[in-house]
Chain A
């Protein structure tokens, strides 16, 4: 019984230690207290920003909204394109280089291009994150479809499954890999969203909040905004993880 309680608490041990070290650094004045406020101050800034006053909650909401739009757009484009490319190995091989090339290009390198194409509006940031995310999704979905086990499709065929049912087998086969792509894509979309909010003249968003608080030397506010982006990234990952466990229960087995 006792060890069970310990097992449940285990994931928090690291958190407690980290906060302890942080508090110790502040107490012992190892780092300039202006640069590193205490955990208490920081978390109260998070609380105030999110629930009482200030723009943190608004910026948080804006980033969530745009990141979700970017991920949704990337999914809507990436999944069908990935399926089509993956359905024929020859087709995929002929565009593989392009996909690999752009996948390897740091997506922030295309910021200026996207500014030229779509202007400085907030939709540009959605396009940028969708661009980065969709490449990750296309790549993974295509590989998922290509690597669908031939035996399983053959088995469906000899049991009399019509073409549409066989296609369904391929899609289900590719689902675990598709989810890997979605998770990678979501993480990338968030990175690109925060970065473009910092660099592309945003009027709101977590990226802007971090940038502004730093300019104003409001360190608790800056840490609060950084913490919120971490929370957002972690929640996104958790969301995909739980969805995958629920709907793709056979993944990796």
Chain B
């Protein structure tokens, strides 16, 4: 192992939120990736979505997956999360399979993902039941999480008594309560109204900054994809290839002013250009 590679293991990845941290511009092969995808192949009937697809996802970063409709953005994330089986290939998290790690998944449709028969609080605590966490400890953990993110919702309510945004917030807390090594978000805000979407983006950013959990989001909204991400995975039409994987070098916490930031707009413009190239193909 070269000295260079070793220091990169010992030194944490640069976090865009810390302006003092140098932006890691080294080629990705020198970094220690969190997720490695090798030789991934996936077909639906006769259509090949992925063919010998390789990908490394960096640790502790927020990655947005973006690309033309039907290119398999969600499919890729769901295969990584183990929700959809792969035809061929291997997906590892630090050398472990998805079954061996703790992960969180937030569905697009919060209405169908939460359990309406138990309170929001019990929904958040639900995954801890299967980790053999005693009841008192479960409550303590939910309490800590709620305090950490300053959640001001009456969690004794049932999910159907809450607004869409509140329900999705509960979903996100449920994904975070297991202290996941990686977090998957499937268009989490697309069912919310605009005002709530903006609010939830900032909540999400805050949670990411607090926890530093490797996070993958599928988004149809380029503004959102760039606003939240450290890097944007731009996919081509199926069979999907990585067209580019640009870094969003905009400091956190990002806010409304970020939308006018030249670097933000440069990256967004670049992504849009690639996106349009792919759509026209």
A contact set with B: CB distance below 8 Å: 149, 151-152, 154-155, 158-162, 165, 169, 172, 249-250, 253
Contacts and interface: CB of A to CB of B under 8 A. Distances in A.
B203 to A, nearest CB: 20
Given A152-B112, A158-B83, 15 more contacts: A149-B112, A151-B107, A151-B109, A151-B113, A152-B113, A154-B83, A155-B105, A155-B114, A158-B82, A159-B174, A159-B178, A160-B127, A161-B130, A250-B117, A250-B158
B216 interface: no
Contacts of B105: 155, 158
B221 to A, nearest CB: 21
B81 interface: yes
B131 A160 contact: yes
Given A152-B112, A172-B117, A159 B130 contact: yes
Nearest to A253: B160
12 contacts: A151-B113, A152-B113, A155-B105, A155-B107, A158-B105, A159-B127, A159-B174, A160-B127, A169-B115, A249-B117, A250-B117, A250-B160
Given A159-B130, A162-B130, A250 B107 contact: no
Nearest to B177: A159
A151 B110 CA distance: 9
Contacts of A253: 116, 158, 160
Contacts of A162: 130
B245 to A, nearest CB: 26
B53 interface: no
Contacts of B113: 151-152, 155
- Classify the interface of chain B: helix, strand, loop or mixed: loop
B228 to A, nearest CB: 22
B119 to A, nearest CB: 11
A162 B126 CA distance: 13
8 closest Cβ pairs, A-B complex:
A250-B116, A160-B130, A253-B160, A159-B127, A151-B112, A149-B112, A155-B113, A172-B117
A154 B109 CA distance: 12
A249 B112 contact: no
Interface in B105-157: 105, 107, 109, 112-117, 126-127, 129-131
B93 to A, nearest CB: 15
Tell which of A152, A161, A165 has the most Cβ of chain B within 10 Å.
Answer: A152
A134 B107 CA distance: 37
A158 B81 contact: yes
Nearest to A158: B105
A249 B160 CA distance: 10
A214 to B, nearest CB: 48
A165 B112 contact: no
B160 A159 contact: no
Contact of A152 (B81, B115, B178): B115
A160 B160 CA distance: 24
Interface string B84-120: 0000000000000000000101010100111111000
A77 to B, nearest CB: 25
A165 B83 CA distance: 18
Nearest to B106: A155
A169 B103 CA distance: 21
B7 to A, nearest CB: 36
Interface string B154-178: 0000101000000000000010001
Interface in B245-261: none
Contact of A159 (B81, B109, B126): B126
Given A158-B82, A158-B105, A250-B160, A165 B117 contact: no
A162 B131 CA distance: 11
Contacts of B112: 149, 151-152
Interface string B69-88: 00000000000011100000
B115 A165 contact: no
Given A152-B113, A152-B115, A169-B115, A249 B83 contact: no
Nearest to A154: B83
A155 B108 CA distance: 12
Contacts of A161: 129-130
A166 to B, nearest CB: 11
A119 B112 CA distance: 50
Contacts of B107: 151, 155
Interface string B45-83: 000000000000000000000000000000000000111
Given A152-B115, A155-B113, A249 B130 contact: no
Nearest to B127: A159
A202 to B, nearest CB: 43
A138 B126 CA distance: 31
B121 to A, nearest CB: 15
A160 B112 CA distance: 18
A205 to B, nearest CB: 39
B81 to A, nearest CB: 7
Given A152-B112, A154-B83, A249 B127 contact: no
